[in-house]
Amino acid sequence: MDKMVLRGMEYYGYHGVFDEERKLGQRFFVDLELELDLSVAGRNDDLSQTVNYAEIHELVKGIVQQKSFKLIEALAEHIASSVLDTYTMVDALTVHVTKPHPPFDIHFKGATVELYRSRK
C-alpha cells in the first residue's frame, strides 16, 4: 500500500491531566502516515484523485487547537477517527502525537503515543 506521510505538524493546544496544562496550553507535534492508493493521482497528476494534505493539516489543527483532552492517547484517537471519517480514500493510518515538554521534573525529549487504525 502507498503512503502519504505528514511529519512535524506543530500546533498549540490545551491538553493534559493537570489543570494548568489545560489552562496555559503547550506545543504538540503530530505526524501522520496515511495508507491509500496513490497510483491514479500519480499517473494523472490530479489532486481530486488523492487526499489534499493541506486540508488534513487544517482538520488536525482544528482538533488540536479547539478541543481539550486529558490524555494524548485520546487526542490521537480523535485525530485518527476524524481522518478516517472524513477521507474515505484513506484505508489506514498511523498517528504520532508528541508532547515535547511534559510538566515533570525529569529530562527527556517528550512523550509520544503512536496508534494504528484501519477500516478493516
Q: What is the CATH number of the domain that holds 76?
A: 3.30.1130.10
- Rounded to two decimals, the pTM is 0.94
Q: How far apart are the first and last CA of the chain?
A: 14
Identify the pLDDT of residue 28: 97
Provide the percentage of residues in the chain whose pLDDT is more than 70.
98
Say how far apart CA 94 and CA 118 lie, in whole Å. 9
pLDDT band of 98, cuts 50, 70, 90 = very high
- What residues make up the domain containing 74? 3-118
Separation CA 55–CA 39 (nearest Å)? 20
Average pLDDT over the chain reads: 94
**99 is a catalytic site residue:** yes
Which pLDDT score is estimated for 109?
Answer: 77
Q: Of the residues 70, 99, 109, 120, which is catalytic?
A: 99
